[in-house]
């Protein structure tokens, strides 16, 4: 296997990175975790050591914040948050934590919730003002709900499966199997709060018993032992198979609220795999579109931008760096590890580079949109008249122009690029 063109070993001099004598005019990546390096603010001889208190583990996760590339400039706001820094609400048999605009100010279009339900544990019957999209990270989960015609839906999901419930649609979740489930929830409003959910028990606890009796045509005394507050997450009995659990007057919905994302045939690129799920193949998902990417060691999610929505990324495996170009000479680089969330505002140019030459990066790109859309810098250059490109970029270097134009003449998008060349 060829050494990736972006590998530090290809270009670094003999000096160790993050030292005053180190020189790298091309700002290559450094995998501080994989190479067990201690990031320090030295770049091309400039900078100084750190004398005060330090969080070395955090610095290893963010080497490009400790020593930004020379191309970073301006005052771009923070675009990174870790679920490890979110408050955890602990309940009997489960927990939940969220990343919203309150945790990450740039998370304006979407909010995320990471939730765990043990075996048999419910996320109680509820609904939201916002639409809910979810990706199963581990285990198995049963999903129930009804549609606008009053018809019901039940399905069992596992790792890599999705569900989507439009605004106001009531539903519930229950962990299955020996270990239950863990999943990522996405809501189509960055201001969402998991505490503002409409819950069945909370509603009934705050409705007069006489009204409950009239609504269900029963005696008020029947409701004297209802829960006095929300249950939210709570243990229950283990369910049987779906055919054994359906109610007597079950009317199946014609809507499909779930989808098997990882079962899709992937687009195989030179540097990894891409699976896109949006309203074109999951019709009910009108406000959330997503791509699942596997980026091979040393590979690059090519330079691109999204014209229709902010990108809300969730990193599942690996280590990556992203530089965001915000126009007006502003750019900033962030590093991500598993469990991190990244934001790239609409139309801002960016890439995702796998920092490791040994481990894959697995990431979800999620958008408040009905379709996944992006523009490829490579494709744009290949589809633009050659003279136009050369005079823009290489007016003083005709040899570089010839080599560049040769490289883009196919004009074919390669969303995840193999950088070995």
Give catalytic residue positions. Answer: 365
Annotated binding-site residue? 132 = yes
Burial of 39 by CB count in 10 Å (0-12 exposed, 13-18 middle, 19+ buried)? Answer: buried
Helix count and strand count (H, E) for the chain: 9, 26
Tell whether residue 73 is among the known ligand binding residues.
Answer: no
Encoding tokens for residue 304?
């691109």
What is the spatial distance between Cα 160 and Cα 262, in angstroms, rounded to a whole number? 5
Does residue 317 contact residue 368 with C-beta atoms inside 8 Å? no
Residue showing tokens 């190479």:
35
Judge whether 28 is annotated as a binding position: no
**358 close to 277: Cβ distance less than 8 angstroms:** no
Instruction: Residue 125: count other Cβ atoms within 10 Å of its Cβ.
Output: 17
Residues 6+ apart with CB under 8 A from 307: 346, 347, 373, 374, 375
Beta bridge mates, 80: 342
109 labelled binding-site residue: no
Cross-strand partners of 397 = none
Question: How far apart are the C-alpha atoms of 301 and 365, rounded to whole Å?
Answer: 11
CB neighbourhood size of 308 (10 A)? 15
CA distance to 17, 58, 60, 182, 204, per residue, from 52 (Å): 21, 15, 17, 39, 55
What is the rounded distance in angstroms from the CA atom of residue 121 to the CA atom of residue 263?
Answer: 26
Is 383 a known ligand-binding residue?
no
Structure tokens at 328: 């007006």
Distance of alpha carbon 323 from alpha carbon 58, whole angstroms: 19
First to last CA, the chain: 10
Q: Is 350 annotated as a binding residue?
A: yes
Distance (Å, rounded) from C-alpha 257 to C-alpha 52?
53
**Tokens found for residue 390:** 């050369």
Ligand-binding annotation for 259, yes or no, is no
- Binding-site residues: 126, 128, 132, 171, 304, 306, 311, 350
Residues annotated within a binding site for Mn(2+) = 126, 128, 132, 171, 304, 306, 311, 350
């Amino acid at each position: 296997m060829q050494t990736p063109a972006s590998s530090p070993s290809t270009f670094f001099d003999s000096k160790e990175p993050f030292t005053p004598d180190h020189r790298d005019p091309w700002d290559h990546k450094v995998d501080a975790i994989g190479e067990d390096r201690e990031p320090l603010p030295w770049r091309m001889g400039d900078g100084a050591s750190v004398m005060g208190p330090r969080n070395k583990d955090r610095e290893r996760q963010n080497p490009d914040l400790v020593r930004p590339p020379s191309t970073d400039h301006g005052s771009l706001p923070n675009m990174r948050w870790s679920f490890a820094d979110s408050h955890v609400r602990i309940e009997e048999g489960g927990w939940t934590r969220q990343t919203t605009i309150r945790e990450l100010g740039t998370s304006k279009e979407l909010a995320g919730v990471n939730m765990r339900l043990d075996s048999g544990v419910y996320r109680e019957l509820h609904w939201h003002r916002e639409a809910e999209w979810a990706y199963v990270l581990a285990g198995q989960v049963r999903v129930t709900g009804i549609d606008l015609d009053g018809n019901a839906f039940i399905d069992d999901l596992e790792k890599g499966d999705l569900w989507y419930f439009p605004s106001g649609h009531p539903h519930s979740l229950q962990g299955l199997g020996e270990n239950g489930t863990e999943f990522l929830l996405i809501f189509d409003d960055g201001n969402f709060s998991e505490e503002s959910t409409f819950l069945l028990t909370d509603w009934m606890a705050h409705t007069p018993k006489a009204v409950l009796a009239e609504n269900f045509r029963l005696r008020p005394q029947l409701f004297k032992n209802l829960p006095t507050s929300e249950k939210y997450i709570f243990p229950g009995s283990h369910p049987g198979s779906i055919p054994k659990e359906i109610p007597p007057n079950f009317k199946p919905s014609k809507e499909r609220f779930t989808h098997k994302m990882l079962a899709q045939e992937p687009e195989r690129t030179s540097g990894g795999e891409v699976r896109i799920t949006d309203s074109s193949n999951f019709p009910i998902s009108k406000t959330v579109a997503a791509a699942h990417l596997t980026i091979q060691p040393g590979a690059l999610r090519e330079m691109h931008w999204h014209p229709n929505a902010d990108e809300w990324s969730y990193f599942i495996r690996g280590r990556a760096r992203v530089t965001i170009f915000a126009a007006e000479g502003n750019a900033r680089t962030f590093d991500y590890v598993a469990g991190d969330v990244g934001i790239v505002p609409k139309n801002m140019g960016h890439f995702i580079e796998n920092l490791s030459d040994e481990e894959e990066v697995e990431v979800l790109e999620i958008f408040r949109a009905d379709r996944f859309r992006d523009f490829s810098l490579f494709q744009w250059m290949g589809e633009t008249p050659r003279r136009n490109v050369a005079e823009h970029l290489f007016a003083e270097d005709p040899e570089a122009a010839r080599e560049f134009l040769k490289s883009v003449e196919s004009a074919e998008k390669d969303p995840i690029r193999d950088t070995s060349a």
